[in-house]
Amino acid sequence: MEKHSFLQHFPVTLFAMIMGLGGLTLSWHRSHLVLQMPDWISQLLLLISVSLFLVISAFYLTKLLRFPEAVKAEISHPIKISFFPTFSISLILLSTALLPVSMGLSKVVWLLGASLHLLFSLYVITQWMHQTNFTIQHSTPAWFIPVVGNILVPIAGVQHGYVEASWFFFSIGLVYWIVLKVLIFNRIIFHDPIPQKLLPTLFILIAPPAVGFIAYMQLQGGVLDGFARVLYFSALFLVLLLLVQVRYFTKIPFFLSWWAYSFPLAAFSIATQIMLEKQGGWFFLVLSYVSLGFVTLLIGLLLLRTLQGVISGKLFQPEV
């Protein structure tokens, strides 16, 4: 029997870890400004996020050099293809988290991340349009990932002075979010249920309106208008919708797809703290603490389970 290198099965989906940790870093940074939480927590999370990003990138680059056919198989896969933009999204998130540390470094990382994400978006959507082997069963909420990255761009982009470019990316994300949401709900309601392994990706539904709210507030100069409220409360409804279905998610064995819980809930935590900052009130105050505490515990659990999977080697097995 041929012995496989773990690198051959090193999954691109591991970059979703950086999305979750990057979102948590930004949530704790916001909590320092709004809830007077300690600033060292966000700084520690940023260090962890950058370190893990460099490690995962190094391993995946080695995989690309040693096993190009394995990478080609992933980028040709109808579901895995949507996870390649998690690399550029990670760069965009890290550039945003680096804003308080170094504007210069943040700008360089942002330019790289935004440029790569545009290329990934063009590539993925082109594949959707021209592939002949995709079926309705291949459409999952993971298809939102290329879209979410576009909506993220303005958060740091506006602060770097790229206002029109930020509106460009925001427009792409917003329009294609609506289109994809219709397609995904059609698949969920009228076709076979989403496989258990991919059920956590339903939480990705929260990300576009939550991130859209944060980006729109940045583009509007912090003005809380009617459209901003529509985006925030759309995200809040989706959080409630998924929480009432918690029994379905607690039965799922650990897969890397569990990381789909992390970034959307971190984005909602940030959005809630912005609402508290703009509106005040006990509701947003309580929800800010609860959402921050919950996503922190959740990502702590995800890190533990992922570490166990790495040590045991279960994360680097060929699919059956």
Domain ranges of the chain: 6-316
pLDDT tens-digit readout, 162-209: 999 999 999 999 999 999 899 888 888 888 888 888 889 899 999 999
CATH topology of domain 6-316: Glycosyltransferase (1.50.10)
Q: What angle do CA 72, 78, 81 make, to 5 degrees?
A: 55
Other C-beta atoms closer than 10 Å to the C-beta of 36 total 8
- Whole-number percent of the chain with pLDDT over 90: 71
129/169 Cα distance (integer angstroms): 20
Average pLDDT value for the chain: 92
pTM, entire model: 0.93
At residue 138 the predicted structure's pLDDT band, cuts being 50, 70 and 90, is confident
More confident residue, 271 or 246: 271
- pLDDT given at position 2: 41
Q: Give percent of the chain above pLDDT 70.
A: 98
Whether 105 has a pLDDT exceeding 70, the answer reads yes
pLDDT surpasses 90 at 110? yes
137: pLDDT confidence band, cut at 50, 70 and 90?
A: confident
Residue 20's φ and ψ, nearest 5 degrees, are -65, -45
